[in-house]
A and B are shown apart, each in its own frame.
Chain A
Amino acid sequence: MHFQFIDFLAPVLRPQAYLDPGSGSFLIQLLIAGLVGAGFIIKAYWKKIKAFFTRTKPAEETPKDDSQPQQ
């Protein structure tokens, strides 16, 4: 499960390639990100619209106290 193209895509000073992202993980990530990315944009805009009408700032996200409509 080697990531064969990384060598010719990566410029010289790029030490991050020490991790093999995995071919399957790489491709599925693109798919999932596309899927959840759309939801993320809608969510972000929805927050802004809601904030505009309620005249409050969107709540700052702090670890472990906001709930997300995920999963």
Chain B
Amino acid sequence: MTANPNSDRRLGASFRDPSGFLFARDGTLYRQVNHIYRQHYDQLMASKLYARLVSAGLLIPHEEVDIAPDEPELAYRVIKPSQLKFISYPYEWSFSQLQDAALATIAVQKLALETGMVLKDASAYNIQFHQGKPVLIDTLSFEIYREGEPWVAYRQYCQHFLAPLALMAYTDVRLSQLLRVYIDGIPLDLASRLLPRRTRYGLGLATHIHLHAAAQKRYADKVVSKEQAARRMSKLSFMGLMDSLEGTTRKLNWKPAGTEWGDYYIASASHYSATAFEHKKQVVNQFLQRIQPAVTWDLGANTGEFSQLAANLGSLTIAFDIDPAAVEQNYLISKPKKDTRMLPLVMDFTNPSPSLGWHNRERHALLERAPADALLALALIHHLAISNNVPLPLLADYLHDLGHWLIIEWVPKDDTQVQKLLASRLDIFTGYHQEGFEAAFGDYFALHEKIPLRDSDRVMYLMEKK
């Protein structure tokens, strides 16, 4: 390719596929469609596949625009996709989010096949959550289907979707974090080793993971013969393969052990009296109404009870929590709501998502996706300041980088939750008191309002970045 992939305007993750690439201009994201992809792009648009996918909410809509391409000598068209305000990654999704992203990929593939096209990749990074639903964001993922050819993205689907989902369902839900290590999905030999023996007895995982891994190993150093390469796969077999992948994906299931959804997490209501809890809701709502944030990050959202207050105001609300079970429940609660503004994500703020991939530019660190208009830090400060020993000035500095407005709950040392954290350790936190908190945060934020919660020793603050 003669293009300059180091162009500053060109996005760091957009270099593998010669069909085109993403670039940013004046704060807007565009996708250049290259001449080499012309035939496929034209078929996508002319076959009504594009219209069908967009109306099914499975593909990000775009408009063709008349602006100068970033690489004119390669360009066929420039398109402007609907702009997303927040990009999330598979290692930040809960089980059902990854499963729904996988099923959306298969649903796209089935519609494509009906119109004589097929997906040429099946990357989990091509899916984003838009208004609560998984949607394909790579318009150039399609190619014209040629009968007889197998699916070029079969391996990618298994590595990006099936392997992590199987590991989460059968081994441990935290293994989704392997996606953070392996940028092109979990190696199938590793998945095969980590999965329990019983997964070898069901047809789906036995073939798509275990047998698949064995075949990869067997042919790792071998060159495929011409006879082998000439083997074809009928369209019915192709559809059978999709049906099998869909069924295997759909059948996977994860629920936190020994719990029922209804009562797994009744928010954190038990730490408050009913009066204090209601008052906290009222204060958070009052602060949110005052600042009207377009994007809100709830940094310790639990199942999203308070995040919902922001989402109800029309704010795109990213509800982070360290606990995959809480994120899962928030997602399942939000999913049936039409056009929800809630996006629950798994995030450990003591070690937030880093920059990953080639040149560390393919996947953005959480900090690169900041700032939010408003941050909610409710019942969070003691977990970071005491459990993780973060001094209050460092915490103020970090939150200052993450957002403009801050709604934060001060949890004093004699609070039962803080006492619980201190029960088994020496109290080395001499600076952890309300005056110290106000002084530390006062260096980074202007303190606008301070409301003690009724029937509680906790205090709510509204602050604005200095």
C-alpha spacing A63/B246, complex, angstroms: 10
Q: Is the C-beta of A54 less than 8 angstroms from some C-beta in chain B?
A: no
Which residues of A8-59 have CB atoms within 8 Å of chain B's CB atoms?
Answer: 9, 13-19, 21-30, 32-41, 43
- Given A30-B231, A33-B237, A71-B205 in contact, is the A16-B154 Cβ separation under 8 Å? no
In the complex the two chains form, is A25's CB within 8 Å of B100's CB? no
Q: Which residues of chain B are near A2, meaning CB under 8 Å? A: 223
Our pick among B17, B18, B150, B208 for the contact of A30 (Cβ within 8 Å) is B150
In the complex the two chains form, is A24's CB within 8 Å of B248's CB? no
- Given A4-B223, A30-B231, A36-B243 in contact, is the A25-B251 Cβ separation under 8 Å? no
C-alpha spacing A41/B250, complex, angstroms: 20
Q: Is the C-beta of B212 less than 8 angstroms from some C-beta in chain A?
A: yes
Q: Which residues of chain A are near B228, meaning CB under 8 Å? A: 27
Which residues of B197-218 have CB atoms within 8 Å of chain A's CB atoms?
Answer: 202-208, 211-212, 215-218
Max count, chain B CB within 10 A of own CB: residue among A5, A21, A68, A70: A70
- Given A40-B236, A41-B240 in contact, is the A71-B120 Cβ separation under 8 Å? no
In the complex the two chains form, is A29's CB within 8 Å of B219's CB? no
- Given A70-B247, A71-B205 in contact, is the A34-B17 Cβ separation under 8 Å? no
Residue of B nearest to A42 (CB): B240
Q: Is the C-beta of B104 less than 8 angstroms from some C-beta in chain A?
A: yes
Whole-angstrom distance between the Cβ of B245 and the nearest chain A Cβ: 9
In the complex the two chains form, is A15's CB within 8 Å of B212's CB? no
- Given A15-B17, A15-B37, A27-B228 in contact, is the A22-B236 Cβ separation under 8 Å? no
Our pick among A1, A16, A36, A66 for the contact of B241 (Cβ within 8 Å) is A36
In the complex the two chains form, is A21's CB within 8 Å of B150's CB? yes
Q: Which DSSP category, helix, strand, loop or mixed, fits chain A's interface?
A: helix
In the complex the two chains form, is B212's CB within 8 Å of A33's CB? no
C-alpha spacing A40/B40, complex, angstroms: 28
C-alpha spacing A22/B229, complex, angstroms: 12
- Given A5-B229, A41-B240 in contact, is the A63-B203 Cβ separation under 8 Å? no
Q: Which residues of chain A are near B246, meaning CB under 8 Å? A: 68, 70
Q: Is the C-beta of B220 less than 8 angstroms from some C-beta in chain A?
A: yes
In the complex the two chains form, is B219's CB within 8 Å of A38's CB? no
Question: B32-76, CB under 8 A of A: which get 1 and which 0?
Answer: 001011111000000000000000000000000000000000000
Q: Is the C-beta of B234 less than 8 angstroms from some C-beta in chain A?
A: yes
Q: Which residues of chain B are near A39, meaning CB under 8 Å? A: 240, 244
C-alpha spacing A63/B108, complex, angstroms: 11
Residue of B nearest to A65 (CB): B250
Q: Which residues of chain B are near A1, meaning CB under 8 Å? A: 216, 219-221
Whole-angstrom distance between the Cβ of B368 and the nearest chain A Cβ: 26
Q: Which residues of chain A are near B155, meaning CB under 8 Å? A: 21-22, 25
Our pick among A5, A24, A64 for the contact of B226 (Cβ within 8 Å) is A5
- Given A5-B226, A28-B215, A63-B103 in contact, is the A33-B17 Cβ separation under 8 Å? no
B interface residue numbers (CB < 8 A to A): 16-19, 34, 36-40, 100, 103-104, 107, 120-121, 143, 150-156, 158, 202-208, 211-212, 215-224, 226, 228-229, 231, 233-234, 236-241, 243-244, 246-248, 250-251
Q: Which 6 pairs between the two chains have the least Cβ-Cβ distance?
A: A70-B247, A68-B247, A71-B204, A40-B240, A37-B237, A37-B240
Known A39-B244, A71-B251; 16 more pairs at CB < 8 Å:
A4-B224, A9-B229, A16-B152, A18-B19, A23-B219, A24-B212, A25-B158, A26-B229, A28-B207, A34-B233, A38-B240, A40-B244, A63-B103, A64-B103, A71-B203, A71-B247
